[in-house]
Structure 1
Amino acid sequence: MMDLHNKVAVITGGARGLGRAFSEALLSKGAKISICDINVADGEATLQVWREKYGEGRTMFKQCDVSNKQSFTDVFVETKRKFGTIDIVVNNAGIGKELFEQDWEKTIHVNLIGVIIGTDLAVQYMSKSSGGYGGVVINIASTAGLTPVFYSPVYCASKYGVVGFTRSVAANPNVCDLGMRFLCLCPAYTDTGLFQAGHSGRKEVPNLDKISQLVKSTGINSVESVANAFMELVENENNNGAVMAVSLKKGIEYKHGRPVQKSRI
């Protein structure tokens, strides 16, 4: 099991929702956290709460647009400067399942290109081949990266891309030389502000009744249950290439990769 005490994690989209829950789960195990988020107000508010709860020197925040390579690179530079190392990267920032996919290019840039940039930066700053100590990269996809969702094809494309990208990087024959693991977490619908915003019902939405039926039949995860699954994925040191799905009805399911043992939330 990975010892998380004093490990340093970079978590994108870390000011709210799942990103914040992942961060707090790691903080509770003694890790140090660098969150980045596009929303400055939320990031600074979260940082203040953590400083009061966990003390000074264990957390930092930097504004970042993960689809902008320079902006994202600055996060790694500042994190390394403050904490001296980086051990964990969680590419969590994303745009949710919008009922109207009008700005679909942004969905691809944030959900997929941002993950690719973050993974490349992780290799650059963490891999043994680059002078680092190795570590783990967790890319947050969705069960929409494993099965079609009729009302958000672009979102699905971005998440299928995350799953395929992560598995392909993990399958590199030289991955052992990097000293790194590459993992993918695929939550189903989860009770976050992003989910609520993306599924705010409008009467003019085509097939709204079918959308509601799909959500109801799938169920809505609690944030806590997804955070618990995340920690299982992080701490298991023998799971490079694992793709874990999490849903209310089925709990934790490994879609790819061989875990030490299966479990349920």
Structure 2
Amino acid sequence: MTVMDLKDKVAIITGAASQTGLGYGVAERICSKGAKVVLSDFLDEEGKASANALNAKFGEKTAIYVHCDVTKIADQQAMFDAARAEFGRVDIVLNNAGIAAHNLSDAIAEEGTTNWHQIIDINLTAVIQGSVLAYKEFAKSGTKGVIINTASQTGLQPYPNHPLYSSAKWGVVGFTAGCGGAWYDQTGVRVNAICPGYVRTPLLEKGYTESEQMRFIVTASGGFVERDVVVDAFERAITDESLIGKSLSANTVVGVQVFDYPPVVIA
């Protein structure tokens, strides 16, 4: 297995403001291996504090924070511009920003489709847009970069009463598998997805009631998965150069496991 050396690599990570979230957890892990990071989010005060925390722990000019609403292409492009201006390059892009699901009963009861669109726009469309921008960035610079898309266990196994969220996450898994091989063949760019089980993060706490957590998480999925287990999956997806267009599940049942798709046979 060939492993990418993270020293002096530059990563962009969306949805990385909270120091208890997955994005920051990955940032902390790869910075410990010598990487530089651009943290992005719309929670500016938290994001700046997180960048400062990384700089205090790993040295000045390890991290910067950039405001980003991932539904806006201009904001996403600004992340790449900031990374080049500060660090001179981009090697890794983690499309990690997301919002928690509304259950189907609540969605049906709401007037209009605003929340439906938000779930798809942030959890799927923005991931695709971020991946396309990253691919163009890598193709232009000749960098054999890595794109990691945050999906969910619900992208492999839909959970009851959350079809909108599952649809978005299945879309992320499908997009990753669909473009992974083609992009690698064309430019050497690798694309993988992470499908975490339920991690106790701010995203989860905002999106689910305690009763829902008990019913769907503890009963259906075997309980909460520790953040470090999911961060292990991210690190493997980034550094293991044999992984191309794959989805890695990370849960309490199997730990980290590569999900293999059935081969496509063309007659």
TM-score normalized with structure 1 length: 0.89
- Residue among 129, 135, 139 paired with 1:123: 135
* 5+ long unaligned stretches in structure 2: 263-267
Q: How does 1:18-37 map to 2 (within 5 A)?
A: 18-37=22-41
- Residue among 10, 13, 16 paired with 2:15: 13
- Residue among 158, 168, 172 paired with 1:162: 172
Residue of structure 2 in register with 1:195 after alignment: 204
In the TM superposition, residue 132 of structure 1 has moved relative to its aligned partner by 2.5
Looking at structure 1, the residues matched to 26 and 249 of structure 2 have their Cα atoms a distance apart, in angstroms, of 16
Contact 1:241/1:256, CA 8 A, preserved across alignment: no
Compare 94-103 and 11-20 and name the one that shifted more: 94-103
Residue of structure 2 in register with 1:252 after alignment: 256
The sequence identity of aligned pairs, in percent, is 33
Residue of structure 2 in register with 1:75 after alignment: 79
Looking at structure 2, the residues matched to 183 and 98 of structure 1 have their Cα atoms a distance apart, in angstroms, of 26
Looking at structure 1, the residues matched to 91 and 251 of structure 2 have their Cα atoms a distance apart, in angstroms, of 28
Residue of structure 2 in register with 1:148 after alignment: 158
SS of equivalent to 1:221: coil
Looking at structure 2, the residues matched to 114 and 237 of structure 1 have their Cα atoms a distance apart, in angstroms, of 25
- Residue among 68, 73, 83 paired with 1:64: 68
- Residue among 69, 86, 94 paired with 1:90: 94
Residue of structure 1 in register with 2:241 after alignment: 237
- How many residue pairs end up in the alignment? 248
Q: For 1:145-177, what per-residue CA distance to the aligned partner results, in whole angstroms no more than 9, with x for missing partners?
A: 1111122111111100000011111132x5323
SS of equivalent to 2:248: strand
Give RMSD over aligned pairs: 1.7
* 5+ long unaligned stretches in structure 1: 203-207, 259-265
Say if 2:52 is the partner of 1:52: no
- Residue among 213, 216, 235 paired with 2:215: 213
Looking at structure 1, the residues matched to 41 and 93 of structure 2 have their Cα atoms a distance apart, in angstroms, of 14
Q: For 1:207-233, what per-residue CA distance to the aligned partner results, in whole angstroms no more than 9, with x for missing partners?
A: x5xx63331121111111111121112
Q: For 1:239-261, what per-residue CA distance to the aligned partner results, in whole angstroms no more than 9, with x for missing partners?
A: 11111111112211211279xxx
Residue of structure 1 in register with 2:265 after alignment: none
In the TM superposition, residue 234 of structure 1 has moved relative to its aligned partner by 1.3
Say if 2:1 is the partner of 1:2: no
Cα pair distance change 1:11/1:257, threshold 3 Å: farther
Residue of structure 2 in register with 1:182 after alignment: 191
